[in-house]
Amino acid sequence: MPDKVGKQIPVKYLNNKPAFQKARLVWLEKIFLKFRKNFYIVQAIMFLLFLYLTIAPLFASVPKSHDTIFTNVTLLSQFLFWGVWYGFCLLSVIVIGRLWCGLLCPLGALSEWAGRLGLKREVPRWVKWNGWLVIMFLLVTILGQTMDVRDDPKGLALLFLYIFVLAFIVGLLFGKRGSRPWCRYFCPIGKILGVVSRLGILDFKPNKQRKKTEQLPEYIEGSLCPTDYNLSIKSTTNNCITCGACTHAKPKAMLGIYLRKPGFEVKNIMNHSPNWSEIIFILITPGLCAGGFLWLILNDYNVFRDYVGGILLDNNFMWFFNQASPLLSSQTWNQNFTWLDVISITLYMSFYGMIIALILAGTNAIASKLISCNKEQFKKSFKIITYQFIPVAILSIIIGLCGKFFEVLHDDFNLPELIEVWIKSIMLISSMLWTFILSYQYVFSLQSVAFYKKSMALLLVIINILMILYMWWPAILGQGYMSEVEMIRQHLIVPGK
Ligand code: SF4
Ligand code: SF4
């Protein structure tokens, strides 16, 4: 690889006319070129940190009421995982792409290392199926609740263990040197980050636009890019892990890093390979995440649980009242889930996810019908309008998980409750405004559609946005969920009693 960056960039690309090339970040490409061979050091440090934060709480004492994140590793681990890491990862993608994946993530690095030792099999078609995004997301989100990963150190350690083992096996079977099939096809975190990255301002794209037929052998699937992009015709960001391996790699067809407006890809989604699994993900996320939060605070859940329990009792299915397997549920301190709990939580979250998804899809479909004159136009409008809901879908994940962050700010840094309400409200309202503005721009860009139809379509989008706001209201203003750890810290329960 040549070491002088300037020599690798043909001047005709740097000075080229097309508008998209004006915002090329050559300085960032140079940083990647200089440092990416050392990324493995950062990944190894992160791996050890992950290991420590997952394993140390298993041997630590139960947090006492006077403990803080500085005196108890369980509190520190919960704060870093759920208060900082997850929210930071999601939000940072908008500004720095999936740098978490490319530079820091120990899971992706482990899967890549496994690929060096492994069987190097061809990736079969079933692995490339787009639907894994939805399945893995559902599985991990529901398991996260039944295993109470935010509060139960054993639940957190087990869930990460499952994911690490899976990533290792996928790497071992299908990985090759420098490739990451786990990241591309299975990782639930990566898939969520991939959807967010469509809103992001960084884009790795070919310096020279090529036709599909004009493929270069060194840039086709499985050769240079760890997530199997066919680089010379790359047009999306959702599978790009911001590893920088493609910039300056080969002068002929290299990719550059370009700056673009936030939301650019989502706004022009029809030119950036929209897919149905992302659409389903966007539709189910607000409801599923709200279900995962609301079962903890609403009495509805207890009514639902009693109803399910009643049916099981009437039919003499007593087994469901036994303690559930610790491999799938939380059994800690004062909390022992039965199979009834596991089933009720799963059903409650799934119902919530499904019902809200159906309402969102139905309303978006009516809005699309209003502004379309034929079936093709209808499909296109439905896809475009649904993609504009990415900001609220992602904020739903963040609000559902950010409780730990505020819990610690309250207890250890005396943050007033009002400021918490303000921060959450600003985040939620900004995401809703973003969805609204993107939808408005699309709907009112349709010249041939009557004004009243466009207004009605936009009104339906607003109704959907308000429904999501209403759903999250308890989380924003008032009814906060109090975790078991928090109850201990507030002297409300004493562990073991
Ligand atoms: S896709 Fe998943 S495993 Fe891969 S680097 Fe990103 S977060 Fe880590
Ligand atoms: S396109 Fe591929 S090689 Fe380039 S930064 Fe993204 S993941 Fe890495």
Domain ranges within the chain, ordered by starting residue: 26-198+202-259, 276-493
Cβ(107) – ligand 1 distance below 6 Å: yes
The per-residue pLDDT for range 108-124, each reduced to its tens digit, is 999 999 998 888 898 89
pLDDT, mean over the chain: 85
Cβ(190) – ligand 2 distance below 6 Å: no
Ligand 2 binding pocket mutation candidate from 204, 231, 265 (most atoms within 8 A of CB): 204
pLDDT band at 13 (very low <50, low <70, confident <90, very high): very low
**Top-ranked range on mean pLDDT: pick from 82-91, 229-238, 259-268, 296-305:** 259-268
Q: What is the pLDDT of residue 405?
A: 81
Cβ(110) – ligand 1 distance below 6 Å: no
Report which ligand 1 atom has the smallest distance to the Cα of 187.
2
Q: What is the pLDDT of residue 493?
A: 52
Structure tokens at 117: 């030792």
CA-to-CA separations, 348 to 69, 134, 248, 300, in angstroms, rounded: 32, 18, 50, 10
Distance 180 CA to ligand 1 centre (A): 9
> Is 4 or 350 the better-scoring residue by pLDDT?
350
Cβ(352) – ligand 2 distance below 6 Å: no
Ligand 1 binding pocket mutation candidate from 111, 160, 189, 239 (most atoms within 8 A of CB): 189
Q: Could you count the other beta carbons within 10 Å of the beta carbon of residue 470?
A: 10
How does DSSP classify residue 256? E
Q: What is the pLDDT of residue 472?
A: 81
Closest CA to 462 of 394, 400, 388: 388
pTM beyond 0.85: the answer is: yes
> Is 41 or 300 the better-scoring residue by pLDDT?
41
Q: What is the pLDDT of residue 222?
A: 59
Q: Could you count the other beta carbons within 10 Å of the beta carbon of residue 13?
A: 16
Taking 60 as the threshold, does the pLDDT of residue 21 lie above it? no
**Top-ranked range on mean pLDDT: pick from 128-142, 396-410, 412-426, 448-462:** 448-462
Report which ligand 1 atom has the smallest distance to the Cα of 190.
1
Please tell me the number of the ligand nearest to residue 100's CA: 1
Taking 70 as the threshold, does the pLDDT of residue 221 lie above it? no
Taking 80 as the threshold, does the pLDDT of residue 231 lie above it? yes
The per-residue pLDDT for range 329-376, each reduced to its tens digit, is 988 867 789 999 999 999 999 998 999 999 999 999 999 999 999 999
State the helix-helix crossing angle for 276-297 and 451-476, rounded to 10 degrees: 40
Backbone φ/ψ region at 148: left (φ over 0), alpha (ψ -120 to 50), beta: left
Cβ(159) – ligand 2 distance below 6 Å: no
Distance 266 CA to ligand 1 centre (A): 22
Distance 184 CA to ligand 1 centre (A): 8
Q: What is the pLDDT of residue 398?
A: 85
Taking 70 as the threshold, does the pLDDT of residue 19 lie above it? no
pLDDT band at 6 (very low <50, low <70, confident <90, very high): very low
Atom 5 of ligand 1, residue of closest alpha carbon: 101
Taking 60 as the threshold, does the pLDDT of residue 175 lie above it? yes
pLDDT cut 70: percent of the chain above it: 87
Q: What is the pLDDT of residue 485?
A: 54
Q: What is the pLDDT of residue 206?
A: 85
> Is 109 or 233 the better-scoring residue by pLDDT?
109
Q: What is the pLDDT of residue 160?
A: 94
Atom 2 of ligand 1, residue of closest alpha carbon: 190
Output b/e per residue, 191-201; b: 16+ Cβ within 10 A. Answer: bbbbbbbbbbb
Distance 191 CA to ligand 1 centre (A): 8
Ligand 2 binding pocket mutation candidate from 93, 207, 241 (most atoms within 8 A of CB): 241
pLDDT band at 178 (very low <50, low <70, confident <90, very high): confident
Distance 58 CA to ligand 1 centre (A): 24
Mean pLDDT for 148-170 is: 93
Cβ(254) – ligand 1 distance below 6 Å: no
